[in-house]
């Protein structure tokens, strides 16, 4: 069965549009080993709404929140009235649309909040929220996943099963999905961004005149 990686719908949308290139994760509360295990090198991107908070997306990317509602299949074709409120927390609809898959182009673990801040051009969240992902479960490092994302030719509607709910990183989808499609960035664009991201993570980028690994 196809494997999917759970992320907020707004994050999935940003990845599928080339607006985000990395995701920062530790694990889900319901992950068995309480540590993100990167068992899959490519996977589909499964959009969730349950814990999505609108106030942790940067102002420049707030329009992504409305577009992300298209990832759900809503009763009466309309999302809940409070869908774009500050607190978010929209109940997951009965079906969602899967429109993209990703392969892991690189993977690092970090503990330095300055690295999280320096990576901000490559994600749509506020830096405060990204640093909270780092500080959660302090004993564990934060995983930085550099993702090469592909849009599949036609979005596939997936029924949301009961075992898809809750904070977990990986789910198995029961219908066939194609690992095919067009990369959201050209090879040249992605290679240039990859080099910039690696330079940040490896500490060769100077931030405000101070080496990141000083």
pLDDT of 212 reads 41
Query: Can you list the domains of the chain with their CATH numbers?
Result: 3-211 (2.30.130.30)
User: In terms of pLDDT, which residue wins out, 213 or 173?
Assistant: 173
Across the chain, where does the E strand assignment appear? 3-8, 22-25, 42-48, 72-73, 95-110, 142-159, 170-172, 182-183, 206-207, 210-211
User: In terms of pLDDT, which residue wins out, 87 or 143?
Assistant: 143
Residues 74-103, mean pLDDT to the nearest whole number: 79
Enter the tokens of residue 212.
């990141």
pLDDT of 82 reads 67
Give the phi and the psi of residue 96 in degrees, each rounded to 5: -130, 160
pLDDT of 110 reads 87
Residues 89-97, mean pLDDT to the nearest whole number: 84
pLDDT of 200 reads 93
Residue 88 pLDDT level (bands cut at 50, 70, 90): low
Q: Say which residues have a Cβ less than 8 Å from residue 92's Cβ, sequence separation at least 6.
A: 48, 49, 50, 72, 160, 164, 165
Nearest to 45 by CA among 122, 102, 83, 127: 102
pLDDT (tens digit per residue) in 129-150:
888 888 776 677 888 999 999 9
Distance CA 82, CA 90 (A): 8
Distance CA 209, CA 159 (A): 50
Give the phi and the psi of residue 175 in degrees, each rounded to 5: -115, 155
Distance CA 138, CA 210 (A): 24
53-87 core/surface letters (b: 16 or more CB in 10 A; e: else): ebebbeeebeebbeebbebbbeeeeebbeebeeee
pLDDT of 9 reads 92
pLDDT of 89 reads 66
Helix (H) or strand (E) holding 51, with range, is: none
């Amino acid at each position: 069965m196809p494997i999917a990686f759970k992320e907020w719908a707004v994050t999935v949308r940003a990845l599928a549009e080339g607006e985000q290139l990395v995701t920062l994760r530790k694990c889900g509360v319901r992950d068995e080993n309480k540590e993100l295990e990167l068992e899959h090198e490519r996977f589909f991107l499964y959009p969730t709404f349950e814990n999505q908070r609108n106030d942790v997306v940067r102002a420049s990317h707030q329009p992504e929140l409305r577009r992300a509602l298209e990832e759900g299949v809503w009763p009466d074709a309309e999302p809940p009235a409070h869908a774009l409120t500050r607190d978010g927390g929209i109940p997951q609809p009965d079906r969602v649309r899967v429109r993209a898959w990703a392969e892991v182009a690189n993977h690092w673990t970090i503990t330095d909040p300055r690295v999280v801040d320096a990576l901000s051009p490559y994600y749509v969240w506020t830096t405060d929220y990204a640093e909270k992902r780092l500080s959660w479960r302090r004993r564990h490092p934060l995983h930085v996943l550099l993702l090469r994302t592909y849009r599949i030719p036609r979005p596939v509607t997936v029924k949301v099963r009961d075992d898809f709910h809750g904070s977990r990183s990986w789910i198995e989808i029961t219908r066939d999905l194609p690992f095919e499609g067009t990369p959201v960035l050209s090879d040249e664009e992605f290679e240039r961004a990859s080099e910039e991201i690696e330079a940040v993570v490896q500490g060769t980028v100077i931030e405000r005149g101070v080496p990141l690994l000083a």
